[in-house]
Structure 1
Amino acid sequence: MSNIVLVSSPWLSEHSSKIRAKAVPWDGYQRANLVSPSELALLKKIDRQPLAKQQQVFEKEQEVYAGLFEGLLGKLVRVDTVQAVLVGMGDLIGESQDRLNLFYNLQSQSSELPFAPLIKAISLSDEFIQLKATQLLTVLISSSPKLVSDSTLHPLLSVLANLLQAPSPHSKEIALQSLALLLSVTSIRSSIWALEDTSIPVLSSLSKILRSISGASPAGQGVVRDANPQVMYWVGFCFWELTFDRQVCEGIDKKLNLVPHLLSLAQSSPKQKVLRITLATFRNLITLAPQVNVPAMLAARVAPFVESLKGRKLGEDTELEDDLNVLGDVLKEARSNLSTWDEYASEVESGHLAWSPIHESEDFWKENATKLNEKDGKLIKILVDLLKASDDPVVLAVACADIGHYVKNYESGKKLVNNMGAKTRVMALMTHENPDVRYRALLAVQRLISLG
């Protein structure tokens, strides 16, 4: 009997035990015609029985019980009944692929089975019902021998996007594990990525967790706040799975500002497994889409971090050491081929602005300010766009400083950036909550106003 992977949750296990021991008035529901006499007979065989006894019953009539649970889920709405049916379904499945196949076989009876009743359950307001149904629906979808339809996948992804932002730790952990299981399926990875700009932004929700546990600037500065190490790991694991898709690798840093926050996670996590999964993610990014991710990693200061790890005792972790060596070699070679201007341009294009000597060097700006006009002003447009779109105080402060240097050293720069709306945005930043942003915005406004 082959095994399957189920979302593991002490919270679900504890509440399932309580529900198994709780009396459900099935006789009354039968008298109310909510369950049939034959369904009642099956339910009584397992009602409040020890798990071992239940398994003996299931073994004799497993196909019947699979159909029973699906049928009851489709028609019952009372919380106690739906809870009991979900627990029974979970007990029947256990960790057995053969038992899971019983539910796929129900498709011969109805094209809506086995997914539709569970989709109905995940929309109910009861917390246990939603989370238990999420656990079961996740394993059914991720283990399905056939591609599941959007009408099956999307409702689950919508629930996961919300659960990832839930205040309760158990909801978040169940959602993270569920997402990790789904991302192990290539077609589902592609679907999740394609949904990012829709009303089901699962990855944005995942990214918010990453930012909340990192507290990092886009340059990898800052310290990871106290967080559950297991949550850190599952977040990293989900991003690692995503980066086996080339299309994802080409766009995920630009869309989610991924590199600096992953770097911050790796820098501060106490667990080596978090470091390992982060470095493996970086390696996937530079392997499948080096043209966009190598510059992003240089801008985010990944290279110095990688070099610092080479002197650390990492045990016999050969995979981690191999990832370190590959990352170190690729980033070192890329950096050696960059001039000071190339390094600056690469940083701006990546969007990961961070304080470094070139941002404050008068000589650099005297020599290079006009280069921001090359390629139809590509870099100055990016700086202005970052001012408008970024919510990171370091990016905002550096962008203000750079625009100030640009207009100081390029005579026509003031008119150009003002036509892009820079002055209005910089003036608004003078009231920003971050003192450095306010200061840099003030200096930039002085130059935008005073220079002729």
Structure 2
Amino acid sequence: MDQAELSIEQVLKRDIPWETYMNTKLVSAKGLQLLRRYDKKPESARAQLLDEDGPAYVHLFVSILRDIFKEETVEYVLALIYEMLSANPTRARLFHDESLANEDTYEPFLRLLWKGNWFIQEKSCKILAWIISARPKAGNAVIGNGIDDVLKGLVEWLCAQLKQPSHPTRGVPIAISCLSSLLKEPVVRSSFVQADGVKLLVPLISPASTQQSIQLLYETCLCIWLLSYYEPAIEYLATSRTMQRLTEVVKHSTKEKVVRVVILTFRNLLPKGTFGAQMVDLGLPHIIHSLKTQAWSDEDLLDALNQLEEGLKDKIKKLSSFDKYKQEVLLGHLDWNPMHKETNFWRENVTCFEENDFQILRVLLTILDTSSDPRSLAVACFDISQFIQYHAAGRVIVADLKAKERVMKLINHENAEVTKNAILCIQRLLLGAKVRVHFGITDRLRFFQRIIFDSGGTTIIKFQYEKLKRICSSCFRFTHNKDYYPYRQCPHSIARARAAFKDSVLRSSLNSQSQMTETSFPAPVTPPPRVAPPPLNHEELAAAIPYFATARDVHNRYGREPNIARQQRYSNSSNTPPREAANLSGTSRVYEVGQLSRRHEDGEVRRELGDPRLQTHQQGAPRMGGILKPPKKRLSL
């Protein structure tokens, strides 16, 4: 049978030849007599014998384990001791009786931890834990009798079981069970921390489902609670993922004893170091509020919840955003919380990165080398790029810390988020932290920004045209007038048009042959080319000069002519029909009187009709034609 699967009952069914051991003087005659009275007897008889002569039986059992090495006999004696102590753990005090002051009751069990099979190791460990816990105390101090070496040896074996258990399913539980009872001892705490055993507990903190795993989780959390009273252990707990795992446990666990021990641990750690900031970041205030709504029967748990809630409220008031960010970075596990992308945070706290010789920035660079979490790598790259952008000397500082090589390695990362932020960091590292932006307006551009880099190079960005909707289909120019032609013709109705100012002539517009929206015109990456005007032909220009009208020409040509001549010139107009045509036809014609007619043609009509307003109207009417307005009345001739 596999020795690891042996039970106490199976071992106690064996018949041990005690007489043979007496003949070989491994057992004394008195010892044989005690064994015959004790062995194979019912529990009540054994209990009476232990009450009467307990130290003698302890001395006998320890002597057998020290002198006899046969495996079956060792297993049998360990089963007797285990059964004795499991029935009444207070019997462990018998191992510290004054009559055994010169007896080393620890040595046999400590030796068997490393040399026996799993049954022997397991029972020796449990018995040794019971014996150590039952040591007598003088006042507040525990009486030591070479116990320190024993405790260190036991802790060493327990850590070995956590690293590489001797039994696949029972090695870790037995080690955690013993630690939960031994970590009350300061020597055990010190030895356990020195053996780097705290980090062996952290992976065991996870939500459990089965009864066996719940017990293991409870004992593991109990170990963490005991370590929360030891300062060196607290330092490690602050830099590991202990708080995150405990938060997940208390969030999903329904077992009251598990919740109680975790809440008590939180209460112990809240006023120490950076644990308060971690609890706030992990959303523990909301979890505590949710737990208080449940029905708990443990008064200690309810008191701890109230105290923890009040403590977290005070901690939230004291914490600044950079303190929370600092703790997150020091933990080495980054996430996309609002601080990373908040502009005000970086503007207000970018100088805080200079503390302790840029400690936080160096930790971010270390995360790039050591972390395997894609989210942490992406956030670290983004934070470094933010530092480059907002710090006055960010690019120089990051370059001096050799960050470029580290970030370049992540550009080809399998995670797209890491690649994206690594490229962003490299871009800001190469372009620099500060640029000078020049705003200006040109003839052809409505608005643009010119960026001058530290290297002296320039580029134009964000330039816009003047809401252009048309483009000339002939020369593709942006700035000439819509009526532009190399040899300008006479305006169609120069008498009714205002003189065009230079700014309106040069106003940007486009031809109607190419209609498009603002979004359909692609945004240029470089400034548009300046199209050179067509070459000037002096001969053609000289020949075309007589055809260009001037203000004086208009005044002389149209302003001083008689009204009848003007009516003949514009005989096709419906507003000013010639008077001769009206008289010859002998019929009455209706025409509209607008602003132009009222100033010119209407004067003839009013003169003939003897209108008294004629003189006043003539005094105020200009010689040049006015702006045509809609007709206000109709006159019948």
One fold, TM greater than 0.5? yes
Verify: 1:204 aligned to 2:199, yes or no.
yes
C-alpha distance 144-268 of structure 1, shift in aligned 2 (>3 A): same
| Residue type of the alignment partner of 1:144 | R
Cα distance in 2, alignment partners of residues 42 and 259 from structure 1: 54
Higher relative contact order structure (alpha carbons within 8 Å, sequence separation ≥ 6): 1
In structure 1, what is the equivalent of residue 105 of structure 2? Answer: 114
* 2:218/2:258 contact within 8 Å kept: yes
Cα distance in 2, alignment partners of residues 440 and 106 from structure 1: 73
Question: 1:262-301, aligned counterparts within 5 Å?
Answer: 262-287=246-271, 289=272, 291-301=273-283
In structure 2, what is the equivalent of residue 55 of structure 1? Answer: 47
Cα distance in 2, alignment partners of residues 24 and 39 from structure 1: 14
Q: 1:266 offset after TM fit, Å?
A: 0.9
C-alpha distance 233-98 of structure 1, shift in aligned 2 (>3 A): closer
SS of equivalent to 2:261: helix
C-alpha distance 315-42 of structure 1, shift in aligned 2 (>3 A): closer
In structure 2, what is the equivalent of residue 347 of structure 1? Answer: 328
In structure 2, what is the equivalent of residue 306 of structure 1? Answer: 288
C-alpha distance 181-355 of structure 1, shift in aligned 2 (>3 A): same
Cα distance in 1, alignment partners of residues 123 and 355 from structure 2: 57
Cα distance in 1, alignment partners of residues 311 and 342 from structure 2: 28
Of residues 81, 84, 93, the one that matches 1:89 is 81
* 1:29/1:35 contact within 8 Å kept: yes
* 1:138/1:181 contact within 8 Å kept: yes
Q: 1:441 offset after TM fit, Å?
A: 6.5
C-alpha distance 277-93 of structure 1, shift in aligned 2 (>3 A): closer
* 2:267/2:304 contact within 8 Å kept: yes
Verify: 1:22 aligned to 2:14, yes or no.
yes
Q: 1:251 offset after TM fit, Å?
A: 1.5
* 2:350/2:387 contact within 8 Å kept: yes
Cα distance in 1, alignment partners of residues 413 and 127 from structure 2: 46
In structure 2, what is the equivalent of residue 168 of structure 1? Answer: 168
C-alpha distance 442-382 of structure 1, shift in aligned 2 (>3 A): closer
C-alpha distance 143-350 of structure 1, shift in aligned 2 (>3 A): same
C-alpha distance 366-86 of structure 1, shift in aligned 2 (>3 A): same
| Residue type of the alignment partner of 2:247 | L
Cα distance in 1, alignment partners of residues 36 and 258 from structure 2: 47
Q: 1:129 offset after TM fit, Å?
A: 0.7
In structure 2, what is the equivalent of residue 127 of structure 1? Answer: 118
Q: 1:178 offset after TM fit, Å?
A: 1.2
Q: 1:326 offset after TM fit, Å?
A: 2.0
Cα distance in 1, alignment partners of residues 62 and 288 from structure 2: 51
SS of equivalent to 2:229: coil
SS of equivalent to 1:137: helix
More off after superposition, 126-135 vs 100-109: 100-109
SS of equivalent to 2:203: helix
Cα distance in 2, alignment partners of residues 353 and 62 from structure 1: 60
In structure 1, what is the equivalent of residue 184 of structure 2? Answer: 184
Cα distance in 2, alignment partners of residues 66 and 283 from structure 1: 42
C-alpha distance 393-36 of structure 1, shift in aligned 2 (>3 A): farther
SS of equivalent to 1:314: coil
Q: 1:308 offset after TM fit, Å?
A: 3.2
In structure 2, what is the equivalent of residue 101 of structure 1? Answer: 93
What is the CA deviation profile of residues 128-170 of structure 1, one whole-angstrom value per residue up to 9, with x for unaligned ones?
1111111111111122122353211011111111233436343
Q: 1:244 offset after TM fit, Å?
A: 2.9
| Residue type of the alignment partner of 1:232 | L
Verify: 1:253 aligned to 2:237, yes or no.
yes
Q: 1:363 offset after TM fit, Å?
A: 5.2
More off after superposition, 125-134 vs 148-157: 148-157
Structure with bigger strand share is 2
In structure 2, what is the equivalent of residue 157 of structure 1? Answer: 155
Q: 1:264 offset after TM fit, Å?
A: 1.3
What is the CA deviation profile of residues 253-288 of structure 1, one whole-angstrom value per residue up to 9, with x for unaligned ones?
33433211211111122313212211111101124x
In structure 2, what is the equivalent of residue 235 of structure 1? Answer: 220
In structure 2, what is the equivalent of residue 8 of structure 1? Answer: none
| Residue type of the alignment partner of 1:102 | L
* 1:180/1:234 contact within 8 Å kept: yes
* 2:55/2:94 contact within 8 Å kept: yes
Verify: 1:144 aligned to 2:115, yes or no.
no
Q: 1:442 offset after TM fit, Å?
A: 3.8
C-alpha distance 62-177 of structure 1, shift in aligned 2 (>3 A): same
C-alpha distance 184-38 of structure 1, shift in aligned 2 (>3 A): same
Structure with bigger helix share is 1
State the aligned residue count: 420
Cα distance in 2, alignment partners of residues 77 and 440 from structure 1: 67
Verify: 1:327 aligned to 2:302, yes or no.
no
Cα distance in 2, alignment partners of residues 52 and 12 from structure 1: 29
C-alpha distance 284-122 of structure 1, shift in aligned 2 (>3 A): same
Q: 1:396 offset after TM fit, Å?
A: 4.1
* 1:118/1:133 contact within 8 Å kept: yes
C-alpha distance 88-283 of structure 1, shift in aligned 2 (>3 A): same
Question: RMSD of the TM alignment (CA)?
Answer: 3.5
| Residue type of the alignment partner of 2:300 | E
Structure 1 residue runs without a partner (length 5+): 1-10, 215-223
C-alpha distance 396-372 of structure 1, shift in aligned 2 (>3 A): same
Of residues 338, 357, 373, the one that matches 1:357 is 338
| Residue type of the alignment partner of 1:266 | V
In structure 1, what is the equivalent of residue 599 of structure 2? Answer: none
More off after superposition, 50-59 vs 269-278: 50-59
| Residue type of the alignment partner of 1:268 | H
In structure 2, what is the equivalent of residue 78 of structure 1? Answer: 70
* The structure with more radius of gyration: 2
| Residue type of the alignment partner of 1:269 | S
C-alpha distance 323-421 of structure 1, shift in aligned 2 (>3 A): farther
In structure 2, what is the equivalent of residue 218 of structure 1? Answer: none
In structure 2, what is the equivalent of residue 4 of structure 1? Answer: none
Structure 2 residue runs without a partner (length 5+): 137-142, 433-637
Cα distance in 2, alignment partners of residues 445 and 138 from structure 1: 56
* 2:412/2:419 contact within 8 Å kept: no
| Residue type of the alignment partner of 2:125 | T
More off after superposition, 328-337 vs 94-103: 94-103
C-alpha distance 124-255 of structure 1, shift in aligned 2 (>3 A): farther
Cα distance in 2, alignment partners of residues 381 and 85 from structure 1: 59
More off after superposition, 378-387 vs 422-431: 422-431
Q: 1:40 offset after TM fit, Å?
A: 4.2
| Residue type of the alignment partner of 1:192 | R
* 1:259/1:296 contact within 8 Å kept: yes
Q: 1:97 offset after TM fit, Å?
A: 6.5
C-alpha distance 392-203 of structure 1, shift in aligned 2 (>3 A): farther
Q: 1:126 offset after TM fit, Å?
A: 0.6
What is the CA deviation profile of residues 20-39 of structure 1, one whole-angstrom value per residue up to 9, with x for unaligned ones?
11233445555666545554
C-alpha distance 422-24 of structure 1, shift in aligned 2 (>3 A): farther
* 1:135/1:178 contact within 8 Å kept: yes
